[in-house]
Amino acid sequence: MGRVEDVIEPVAGLVAGGGVVVLSGAGLSTESGIPDYRGPSGATRRHTPMTYQTFTGDQLARRRYWARSHLGWRLIAQAAPNDGHRAVARLQRADLVAGIITQNVDGLHTAAGSRDVVELHGRLDEVICLGCGDRTPRLDLDRRLRLANPGFVGQAGAVNPDGDVELGDAEVAGFRTVDCLACGGLLKPDVVFFGEMVPAARVQSCFAMVERARLLLVLGSSLTVMSGRRFVLRAAKHGVPVVIVNQGPTRGDGYAQLRVDAPLGRLLPALADRLLDTSAAAPAGR
C-alpha cells in the first residue's frame, strides 16, 4: 500500500485538468460503516447477495430477505457520508469532477452534497412495486413492517452492502411481509439485484458520460463484475485515461494509467486540499 504522501502528486496531476468522471464502489463507503464484498472489510464474510430470480420466485427466501433487510435498512439509514464522499463533492463543486456514477445504493454521495449522481444500481431508500410500478419511500415501508411485526427485534450483525444483515432461521420465522397498498403486488427495494439488468437507458447515459470524460477515476471498486468494469472497458476503447484508487487488486488494473492502493478517506481529502488550495477557479484548459 502506498503512502498518501507518496501518491498524491501523480493523482493530482491527472485530476487537475478537470473533466473527471468518477466511478465509485463499495470501498468508498466502508469508512461510513458499510462493509464491502471483496475488499478488506468484507474479506472474512460469506454473505451471498439476493438474486432477482430467488426474490421473485421463492416466498420463504423473500420473507428471509425482508426480515434481514428490515434491520439492515436501519443501519444504512443512519450511515453518514465520510471524508471521501465529501471530498468528491468538493471536487465537483470546483468543476473538476464532471460526473459521478456510483455502484452503491446507500445514497451517501448525494447526502455529501454531490449533484446529479447516476446511481447505477438504484437506491435502498426507495421501494418499487413489481406489479404496478408504484414507488414509495422506504420510510413508509419501514413503518408498515414495524406495525406488522411488533415483537420483531432480531440481533443485527454487520450490515451488508446491499442493505441486509445476517439472521438465523429462528429469528426469521414468523416475520410478516407486506404488499403494495395500491395493487397488492410484490414490493422490492428499488435496487438492481444480482441477476437483474440495469435499465438500458441508464447504462447508455453512463457510457456517454464516460466517452465525454477527460479522465475516468475509479474509487473503491474491485471491478469484479461487468456492471462496473464495462465503463473501464468503454474508457479504454475511446482513449480515455483511467486512474484506479482501491485497496487491493482490481480486474481493471491492466487498463489503468495509474493504479493507487491507498485509503480513500485519507487520499481524497488530501487530493481536494492539494487542488483547491492552489486553484479555486475552474481548471485550466477547459
Q: For residue 21, what is the domain's CATH number?
A: 3.40.50.1220
Q: Among residues 92, 123, 127, which one has the least CA distance to residue 22?
A: 92
Which CATH number covers residue 127?
3.30.1600
C-alpha grid cell, residue 105: 445504493
Residue 236: pLDDT band (50, 70, 90) is very high
Are 73 and 86 found together in one domain?
A: no
Please, are residues 85 and 32 in contact by the beta-carbon 8 Å criterion?
yes
Q: Count of domains in the chain? A: 2
The 3-state DSSP composition of the chain as helix, strand, coil percent (nearest 5) reads: 40, 15, 45
* Domain boundary residue, one of 170, 191, 212: 191
Written as one string, the DSSP assignment of 151-175 is T------SPPTTS-----HHHHTTP
Q: Among residues 12, 51, 11, 41, which one has the least CA distance to residue 225?
A: 51
Least confident range of 22-26, 41-45, 276-280: 41-45
Question: Mean pLDDT of all residues in the chain?
Answer: 88
Least confident range of 2-11, 65-74, 198-207: 2-11
149 labeled binding residue: no
Are 138 and 205 found together in one domain?
A: no
Are 213 and 242 found together in one domain?
A: yes
Which residues are designated catalytic?
Answer: 121
Report helix, strand or coil for 137. Answer: strand
- d(CA 150, CA 122) in angstroms, rounded, equals 29
248 labeled binding residue: yes
Return the DSSP state at 51.
Answer: B
Are 174 and 67 found together in one domain?
A: yes
Residue 251: pLDDT band (50, 70, 90) is very high
Establish if 39 belongs to a structural domain. no
160 labeled binding residue: no
Does the pLDDT value for residue 280 go beyond 50?
no
221 labeled binding residue: yes
Are 107 and 219 found together in one domain?
A: yes
Does the pLDDT value for residue 269 go beyond 80?
yes
Range of the domain at 138: 45-78+123-191
Are 131 and 253 found together in one domain?
A: no
Residue 285: pLDDT band (50, 70, 90) is very low
